[in-house]
Structure 1
Amino acid sequence: MPNQVIIVLILTFVIYLISSLAYSVRIVGVKTGRIAIAFAVFNIFALISRTANSIQAPLMAKTIENTIKMGNPENLLYIFRWIIFSTTVATITGAFLMPTFIKVFGKAVEAFSIHRSIPRLVLHAFSKSGIEQFKSSVTKPKRENIAQLKSLTMIPKKIVLLNTIAFAISTVGVLASLYAGCLNPDLRTTCSTLSAVVNGFSTILMFIFIDPYISMLTDDVIRGECTELQFHRCIIFIVGGLIVGTVLAQILLVPSAKVISFIAKLI
């Protein structure tokens, strides 16, 4: 496996790990009562994710170009499947790290309220006291939280399903368009631009249905109209849906690539 692909796998893991942990930001906001500050501090992690994403694309493009020149573009399929598998591993890892992240992030939000500066907060994180706080925050997922997955009562099933579908589409969108370009090298530019259309559909689902619901539920918890337990159960199911979404992306990869390739020929 080329070194560029290994780097892409690592970057993909980082990106989707942060994406899965993003849902715990709302839990921290509810616990601390400082939702705006929680999102402001989380922008540090979002910056890391966006930087990794910007490096990922050119590395993958170079691998594709070299493979097409060798005349075996179909051989890239296993690489794309490995990339999707890394998203699955990252999402599962994020789910198990959520209890620890919630504690660490909660302390970071409290520290930001004191220092009122991101650079000072970063320096505090790497200080002796910051490292000690991190060690004391390491927590295993509670069995009762995992057991909650067995009960589907008072769970927004439609929202969880839509989130799973949206995440599967966003996971496979760019990869399917790149693979479609590998299958049709003469149309690879057209295929790559169609990824924006595919991801646009998942973005519409996220911004119209999913994000507003989670925001509304967050406000309900703050107003006391919803318990924190119900809110936590909803987040657990949504994160569980992300894991299912990455598995669904494996199934959608080849069919999506063929559809994109067909559309590229029609345009």
Structure 2
Amino acid sequence: MELITLNLLFIAFFIFIIHSIETLAYAVRLSGARVKMIASALSLFNIMVIVSRLANMMQQPFTGSLIDNAPIENTLEFVETQFRIVIGASTLGTAFGMILLPTFIALFSRAIVYLSEEKGSVPSFMKRILSIKYIKRGLTHLTLPRFTYLKDTNIKDIPVRLFIVNMFITAIYTIGVLSALFASLLAPERAITSTMASGLINGIATILLVIFIDPKLSVMADDVVNQRGSYNKLKSMSLMMVTSRLFGTLLAQALFIWGAKYIAWFTKFIV
């Protein structure tokens, strides 16, 4: 059976887009602090999160189909290879988002102002930014990252503990669905229970993100707006977070099988 299928490429593309969007979401707070409109920035951030979560839900049934279409012989090895390709797409998507980060900080700064001018009306805002005029204007801000962008960033502003926590949260979120699906192959008698565990895993990762990561960045952005903090420190922190995300997707490759085995073991206490 062919390893690289059209279905697999479609899933990998979806994962690529999802992780690109979630990486670029870090630019929203930087843009909000830049134009001193944090509340409007969070509204734009929420729009991006909804798009990302919707795309994630759309790809999950297709990811499940990889198991349904797997050959009877060497099923575990075949599915593992395909899932590792999907995880690899998350790494590429995160790297792509990092490359576009300077461009989107400039674009989001203008988008936040536009959202405010439209009195918070999302339909009017979308109609405006998706017009040919504004798309052409947006292309003029396209720029590749330069080393000068790292100017004034200080490695001392990067808390190592937060870097590691975010890396593990990203890894868990990346493999949540995949490890649960693979666990259904390791314990076929508890396949449905294992598959349904993916929602719990991603839920825990989201809660950890909300508790440990988001408040820290939000407070720093507020400090910048209120002139109590440094924009460069916020930028250093944001760059640290996206770098941590990248390492998290790489760590996901190492944790993938371990996570599947843990889920398969844990379901014994449920069934």
Aligned counterparts, 1:52-131, within 5 A: 52-67=55-70, 70-74=72-76, 75-116=78-119, 117-131=121-135
- 2:235 aligns to what? 232
TM-score by length of structure 2 reads 0.90
- 2:36 aligns to what? 33
Between 252-261 and 236-245, the greater mean CA deviation after superposition: 252-261
Summarize the Cα distance change of 1:8–1:113 in structure 2 as closer, same or farther, 3 Å threshold.
same
Between 170-179 and 240-249, the greater mean CA deviation after superposition: 170-179
Q: Indicate the SS of the match to 1:17.
A: helix
- 1:195 aligns to what? 198
Question: How many angstroms apart in 2 are the aligned matches of 1:104 and 1:128?
Answer: 15
Query: Do structure 1's residue 48 and structure 2's residue 51 form an aligned pair?
Result: yes
- 1:17 aligns to what? 20
Between 72-81 and 88-97, the greater mean CA deviation after superposition: 72-81
Question: How many angstroms apart in 1 are the aligned matches of 2:10 and 2:86?
Answer: 11
Query: Do structure 1's residue 142 and structure 2's residue 142 form an aligned pair?
Result: no
1:220 Cα deviation from its structure 2 partner: 1.7
Q: Is contact 1:112–1:118 with CA below 8 Å preserved after alignment?
A: yes
Summarize the Cα distance change of 1:71–1:264 in structure 2 as closer, same or farther, 3 Å threshold.
farther
1:52 Cα deviation from its structure 2 partner: 1.5
> Residue type matched to 1:35 in 2?
I
1:254 Cα deviation from its structure 2 partner: 1.0
> Residue type matched to 1:145 in 2?
Y
- 1:213 aligns to what? 216
Question: How many angstroms apart in 2 are the aligned matches of 1:208 and 1:144?
Answer: 33
1:166-216, Cα deviation, whole Å (9 max, x unpaired) = 111111121111111122222211111222343343233212221121122
1:241 Cα deviation from its structure 2 partner: 0.3
Question: How many angstroms apart in 1 are the aligned matches of 2:159 and 2:223?
Answer: 14
Query: Do structure 1's residue 162 and structure 2's residue 165 form an aligned pair?
Result: yes
Between 215-224 and 165-174, the greater mean CA deviation after superposition: 215-224
Query: Do structure 1's residue 184 and structure 2's residue 187 form an aligned pair?
Result: yes
Q: Is contact 1:179–1:257 with CA below 8 Å preserved after alignment?
A: yes
Q: Indicate the SS of the match to 1:224.
A: coil
Return 5+ residue gaps in structure 1 as ranges: none
What is the aligned-residue identity percentage?
32
Note the aligned Cα RMSD (angstroms).
Answer: 2.0
1:46 Cα deviation from its structure 2 partner: 3.1
Question: How many angstroms apart in 1 are the aligned matches of 2:150 and 2:37?
Answer: 27
1:70-124, Cα deviation, whole Å (9 max, x unpaired) = 3543110011101110000000110110111111111112222223332232232
TM-score by length of structure 1 reads 0.91
1:145 Cα deviation from its structure 2 partner: 3.4
- 2:249 aligns to what? 246
Q: Is contact 1:104–1:133 with CA below 8 Å preserved after alignment?
A: no
Between 101-110 and 90-99, the greater mean CA deviation after superposition: 101-110
Question: How many angstroms apart in 2 are the aligned matches of 1:239 and 1:153?
Answer: 17
1:175 aligned to which of 165, 175, 178:
178
1:132 Cα deviation from its structure 2 partner: 2.6
Q: Is contact 2:197–2:263 with CA below 8 Å preserved after alignment?
A: yes
Return 5+ residue gaps in structure 2 as ranges: none
Q: Is contact 1:177–1:257 with CA below 8 Å preserved after alignment?
A: yes
Between 237-246 and 102-111, the greater mean CA deviation after superposition: 102-111
Question: How many angstroms apart in 1 are the aligned matches of 2:155 and 2:109?
Answer: 28
1:146 Cα deviation from its structure 2 partner: 4.2
Query: Do structure 1's residue 152 and structure 2's residue 173 form an aligned pair?
Result: no
Between 155-164 and 85-94, the greater mean CA deviation after superposition: 155-164
1:147 Cα deviation from its structure 2 partner: 6.7
User: How many corresponding residue pairs?
Assistant: 265
Q: Indicate the SS of the match to 2:156.
A: coil
1:148 Cα deviation from its structure 2 partner: 6.9
